[in-house]
Structure 1
Amino acid sequence: MHRLGTSAAALLLTASLGAAQAGGAQPPAPGGGQVQAATPATVAATLREAGYTVTVNPVEGDDEPSLAVKAGDYELDVWFSGCKGTTCDRVTASTNWDYRDDEESLDTEFVNEWNGNFFTQAYVYEGGYYLDSTLTLRGGYTKVALRAWMEDYLGDVEDFEAELP
């Protein structure tokens, strides 16, 4: 009787899984529906649709793809990493404030305090402050998620700039 119960349960589970797949319960395919393929071209298109000015930078040698994005008063460097073929694992947005004329005023304590309270990453590099944010693209992304990431990043950019020493 125990074997019959196990076999019946296995048969019921198999039938349930088959019905779920037949009923369209599969995840959307990248590029179709909401999930976008994790490519620089789709990211650039989504950012343009959101109202940003996007320039696709030429890829030189072994460099990974990158974009120049104009968002209001801010000019952002956006680059991709973990690229294999046309798809990429991550996208990073970055902007900076040049303090080369006043490098002694650069404050690493300010940066460390920022990093303890925000998801964006701040750092001092080559005479300036930088603020970065990375979004994982592996497996695809939704336009809503990409737009929300960029809006959150730009909010942090404004806050960071307002707090600069």
Structure 2
Amino acid sequence: MTRRLLAASLTLSLTAPALAGGAAAPAGAQVQPATPAALLSALKEAGYRVTMNPTEADGEPSMTIVSGEHKISVWLSGCKNNVCSRVTASTSWDYSDQDDALDTEVVNDWNGNYYTQAYIYEGAYYLDSTMPVRGGYTKATLKAWMTDYLEDVKSFEGELPES
């Protein structure tokens, strides 16, 4: 009797995930390795125009994404043995010819309400977002992160002073 209960319990626990979400994982749900090549491929597959930048011998890999009129710098960091732990997207708006246009209140208000990080550096506004990829990522998550980041880029740009 105990063996039958154990067997029935084991069968039920093994089939529960299939009942809850189906036997097959949804498209884009497979965990990808966090290598520069895999990240580049996933971003291209998501429909972005991406180019890998030349890497210096002791530097971290980086790439550039062009989306509409925005040029996004993407850095991979914490890379060891060609596997990275973070991917960071960054966009900037140059106000170096209008130093009086730099307003820390815009940045402080933004940082109090959004997950992306805004800051002022050397005459420009910047907006950054970092996604942890240590242990892998899914293509769907990477695409959603970039979509959300680009939405924030458009919103942040709308908050900046007229140039």
What band does the TM-score fall into relative to the shorter chain?
0.7 to 0.9
Equivalent of residue 130 in structure 2, options 130, 134, 138: 134
How does the TM-score come out when normalised to structure 2?
0.82
Aligned length: 148
Q: Offset of 1:63 from its aligned partner?
A: 0.6
Q: Offset of 1:109 from its aligned partner?
A: 1.2
Instruction: Determine helix, strand or coil for the equivalent of 2:97.
Output: helix
1:151 corresponds to which residue? 147
Between the aligned partners of 1:105 and 1:57, the Cα distance in structure 2 is 31
Consecutive unaligned residues of structure 1, counting only runs of 5 or more, are 1-7, 21-32
2:51 corresponds to which residue? 55
The alignment status of 1:65 with 2:65, answered yes or no, reads no
Consecutive unaligned residues of structure 2, counting only runs of 5 or more, are 15-28
Equivalent of residue 105 in structure 2, options 109, 112, 135: 109
Measured against aligned partners, the alpha-carbon deviations of 1:21-50 in whole angstroms (never above 9, x if no partner) come to: xxxxxxxxxxxx711001111111111111
2:22 corresponds to which residue? none
Measured against aligned partners, the alpha-carbon deviations of 1:78-128 in whole angstroms (never above 9, x if no partner) come to: 001110011000000000000010012100111011000000000000110
Report the RMSD for the aligned CA atoms in angstroms: 2.7
Consecutive aligned runs of 4 or more in structure 1 exceeding 6 Å deviation: none
Between the aligned partners of 2:43 and 2:76, the Cα distance in structure 1 is 14
2:19 corresponds to which residue? none
Is the radius of gyration larger for structure 1 or structure 2?
A: 1
1:4 corresponds to which residue? none
Between the aligned partners of 1:115 and 1:121, the Cα distance in structure 2 is 6
How does the TM-score come out when normalised to structure 1?
0.81
The alignment status of 1:86 with 2:97, answered yes or no, reads no
Between the aligned partners of 2:57 and 2:135, the Cα distance in structure 1 is 26
Instruction: Determine helix, strand or coil for the equivalent of 1:100.
Output: coil
Instruction: Determine helix, strand or coil for the equivalent of 1:101.
Output: coil
The alignment status of 1:77 with 2:73, answered yes or no, reads yes
1:121 corresponds to which residue? 117
